[in-house]
């Protein structure tokens, strides 16, 4: 039994798709983070990968790009019933966008102890003071998600 085997098979499959997106970020020297948004029926309605370097845009995080695409594909900013799957715990900016978009659930892989806002450093997604709370499922394919990031930063010039 692997560490991730206690998660639903669908979450693991979606995370593998998000990992494929993350690997695509390597071509532009962006931090390899990938995200997908699926609707309540499990259909992919948005995808994104970090593109801060590619776009010269500090807001071009994988989650933001996937959320924007999902909203455009639905013609609706409310993503009620949808799940965001991302390889790294969302930061504060992305957590704010997740709450604003009214996503039901976030499934993430690796924890981000330095900037995470889904339970490690902050817990924006489940903050009772906000108008919307998000279900958080952490650690799906965590080892593979973490290894991709570790390899990237080890190879980065000092």
For residue 142, the SS3 value is helix
Strand blocks (E) in the chain = 34-38, 44-49, 83-88, 105-110, 135-138
Judge whether 144 counts as a catalytic residue. Answer: no
Is 29 annotated in a binding site? The answer is: no
In the DSSP assignment, the letter for residue 131 is: S
CA pair distance 27, 89, nearest whole angstrom: 22
Per residue, the 3-state secondary structure of 64-104, as one string, reads: HHHHHHHHHHHCCCCCCCCEEEEEECCCHHHHHHHHHCCCC
Is 145 annotated in a binding site? The answer is: no
Per the residue annotation, which of 63, 89, 141, 142 is the catalytic one? 63
Q: Active-site residues: which are they?
A: 63
Provide the annotated binding site for Zn(2+): 61, 91, 94
Specify binding-site residues. Answer: 61, 91, 94
């Amino acid at each position: 039994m692997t560490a991730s085997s206690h998660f639903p098979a669908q979450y693991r499959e979606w995370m593998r798709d998000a990992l494929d997106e993350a690997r695509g970020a390597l071509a532009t020297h962006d931090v390899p983070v990938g995200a997908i948004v699926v609707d309540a029926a499990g259909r992919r309605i948005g995808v994104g990968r970090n593109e801060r370097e590619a776009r010269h845009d500090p807001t071009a995080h994988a989650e933001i790009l996937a959320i924007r695409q999902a909203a455009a594909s639905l013609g609706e900013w409310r993503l009620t019933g949808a799940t965001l799957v991302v390889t790294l715990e969302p930061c504060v900016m992305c957590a704010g966008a997740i709450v604003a978009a009214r996503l039901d659930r976030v499934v993430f892989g690796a924890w981000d102890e330095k900037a995470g806002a889904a339970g490690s450093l902050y817990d924006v997604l489940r903050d009772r003071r906000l108008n919307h709370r998000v279900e958080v499922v952490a650690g799906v394919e965590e080892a593979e998600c973490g290894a991709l990031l570790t390899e990237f930063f080890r190879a980065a010039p000092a």
